[in-house]
Amino acid sequence: MIQDNLERLKRDGVLEKDIVLWGIGRQSIETYEWIRQNYESGKIIRVIDNFKNTFTKEWRGIPVSGVDGLDELEAGSYVVLLAVNYADAIRVQLEAYGIMQVYNLYDLEEQHSGKNTRPEYQFYDRSRGKKNLCYILAGYEQELWESTLERILCFQSEEFDYCIVSSGRYDENLKQLAKREGWSYLYSETNQVCVLQNIVIELHPLAEYIIKMDEDMFIGAGFFEDMLNSYHRIERTGEYRIGFMVPVIPLNCCGYVTYLDKISKTAQFEAQFGKAYRSRFSAVYDLVEAAEFLWDTMEYFDSMAEYFTKYRGRTEILGCYFNIGCIMFSRKRWLLMGKWPENAGSTGMGEDEVYIYKDNMEKDMPIYEAQGILVGHFAFGGQKQRMRQYYINHRDKFIVKGYSKGQIRECEEDYNGTKAG
């Protein structure tokens, strides 16, 4: 079958271009031998293998690299040949790099679903070409912005570009906030959150490292610097390639176990809610009482965040599902998973979380937890109604003190009054 399809591609003129082979295996040997017999040497210019390239840099005299190595080749000058029973996941990766000339030698008629139609969007671009990007998914938790977005304003780093992303709605307050602070603002009227995340990364082509954050996350002083330093430390010394990195997040189905251990509250929690397992089926995900318990362990968020800095440099590999309200990953990692999933007719809510978790497992790329960084998560969906009253009653726990720029409240006043343009 492979040789027949190679003959067909030769007749159709497809193989006039240089060839890139996908994978080091039996099928590649058969393809290599046929090409060697039918073309001059040097026809195959690269072999792509995302895993074996870590210990094999050459195969039969041909350079071996991961898919990111295609950046070194001239766009449009080559075709990619692969021989697998299912090629969809590989095509997704290649399409993420803009490579469309891909031929599966097991099935030349194979059709790929391709990217679905994207929604129209508006982008107010104030990016500065930084190597690091933080995008914040926002537009639905306005009552928290005086604490959550205010913290990003106060603790932002010059090493980052910032962009607020509103999927499914336009918000004048957020637009004005972004304008005042020199941030970008991206929104679409259609709610397709995974698509918007891909778009914001594509619109920042120089960003090599990315922090994705939800609007109900509370950060402390030094957050951005500590995240960068921790990520680069793991890149240098980690035992695995990084799936993504996370801070310690108390109200998280995995992070709460670390948090309770570090503040010596595990026994007290388990007396009320049972064994503290790292699991999405734990009490922290469902019970509002568990959310209140975790927030009650700190009198003031920033004091607890400062306490956790004594664990700087310590990391743990997490082997469980993780709620991705605040994560850091590289552009290469995003491309390797074929970007965030884009499914027609879907809002994408929660799909990003499941997708990257499964991709981590398939590629042996775990989650690293940076234990010297604490980030608060307000509440899960079923907890929010009661937790909103908790926020009102304990507002001083959440509000940043000593750094306030007042930007959030100023923007709201402008919008409600003169609508600053």
CATH code at position 297: 3.90.550.10
Q: Distance (Å, rounded) from C-alpha 367 to C-alpha 318?
A: 5
Q: Are residues 68 and 134 in the same domain?
A: no
25 vs 35 pLDDT, higher one: 35
Q: Are residues 71 and 133 in the same domain?
A: no
Whichever domain contains 33, its CATH number is 3.40.50.20
Answer yes or no: is 191 within a domain.
yes
Q: Are residues 133 and 56 in the same domain?
A: no
> How confident is the model at residue 111, as a pLDDT?
47
> How confident is the model at residue 404, as a pLDDT?
53
Left if phi > 0, otherwise alpha if psi is -120 to 50, otherwise beta: which for 247? beta
pLDDT (tens digit, 9 = 90+) per residue, 268-324? 999 999 999 998 888 998 899 999 999 999 999 999 999 999 999 999 999 888 899
The backbone torsions φ and ψ at residue 44, rounded to the nearest 5 degrees and listed phi first, read: -85, 115
Q: Are residues 183 and 237 in the same domain?
A: yes
User: Looking at the predicted structure, is the pLDDT value of residue 416 above 60?
Assistant: no
User: Looking at the predicted structure, is the pLDDT value of residue 179 above 70?
Assistant: yes
Answer yes or no: is 114 within a domain.
no
Query: CA angle at residue 366 from 361 to 372, to 5 degrees?
Result: 155
132: Cα within 13 Å, side-chain hemisphere: 16
**Whether 46 contacts 70, CB under 8 Å:** yes
Q: What is the DSSP letter of 167?
A: E
User: Looking at the predicted structure, is the pLDDT value of residue 210 above 80?
Assistant: yes
**Whether 167 contacts 191, CB under 8 Å:** yes
Domain that holds residue 136: 122-416
Count how many domains the chain has.
Answer: 2
Query: What's the mean pLDDT when you consider all of the chain?
Result: 89
Answer yes or no: is 202 within a domain.
yes
Chain centre distance of CA 10:
40
Q: Are residues 223 and 351 in the same domain?
A: yes
Ranking 44-53, 55-64, 292-301, 333-342 by mean pLDDT, the lowest is: 44-53
Q: Distance (Å, rounded) from C-alpha 180 to C-alpha 294?
A: 35
Q: Which residues of 141-158 are buried (b: 16+ CB within 10 A; e: fewer)?
A: beebbbbbbbbbbbbbee
Q: Are residues 148 and 88 in the same domain?
A: no
Q: Distance (Å, rounded) from C-alpha 92 to C-alpha 339?
A: 8
Q: What is the DSSP letter of 382?
A: G
Q: Are residues 305 and 167 in the same domain?
A: yes
**Whether 198 contacts 312, CB under 8 Å:** no
pTM of the model: 0.79
227 vs 94 pLDDT, higher one: 227
Q: Distance (Å, rounded) from C-alpha 210 to C-alpha 49?
A: 25
Left if phi > 0, otherwise alpha if psi is -120 to 50, otherwise beta: which for 401? beta
Q: Are residues 256 and 364 in the same domain?
A: yes
Q: Are residues 295 and 257 in the same domain?
A: yes
pLDDT (tens digit, 9 = 90+) per residue, 103-115? 888 877 654 444 5
Residue with tokens 């993504």: 244
Answer yes or no: is 110 within a domain.
no
Q: DSSP alpha helices (H): ranges in 297-406?
A: 301-308, 331-336, 351-362, 384-393, 395-398
Q: Distance (Å, rounded) from C-alpha 82 to C-alpha 80?
A: 7
Q: Are residues 67 and 139 in the same domain?
A: no
Residue with tokens 């304990």: 394
